[in-house]
Amino acid sequence: MKIVNKFTKGIIFESEHTTMKETVMVAVLSGANLSRADLSWANLSWANLSGADLSGANLSRADLSGANLSGANLLRADLSGANLSWANLSRADLSGANLSWANLLRADLSGANLSWANLSGANLSGANLSWATLCDTLFEHTKISFRKKIVEVNFTEIKEKDE
């Protein structure tokens, strides 16, 4: 199976494995640079991608449910419409990432960098955002849990409080 560059379609990594999940996990274990990889629609559920370099990768509509992405570099990655429910994204760099309409139900985003990320329409119900960096993060029509009820939030009009 081959992992290709999303722009050039050139081969980034190749293995004899028959599934994309196995190929990606082997690539990560071998230290391969998967930046700008086209992994759209890939089934990577419960994959161990801890510390992976997926900066600028296309992971749109990928199934990453339960995946371990702790400490991963997802700078400017496209995760729009991806399923990240129950995923471990602790300490991951998601700055500038597109997470619009992503499912982050019960995801662990503790200590993650979400600066300049787009979370429009995302489902963050039950997600752990403790110690996450949220500078200039877009939350428009984003769903979160509040007192055990799912609510929609829009933080586009936040104003600084005068001291």
**What pLDDT sits at residue 140?**
83
Q: What is the pLDDT of residues 93-103, one digit of tens each?
A: 999 999 999 99
Length of the chain: 163
| Residues β-bridged to residue 123 | 103, 143
Is 50:70 a contact under the CB 8 Å cutoff?
yes
- Look at 145 and 149; give whichever has higher pLDDT: 145
Rounded Cα–Cα distance for residues 118 and 105 (Å): 16
pTM given for the model:
0.89
| Class of domain 38-163 (CATH, top level) | mainly beta
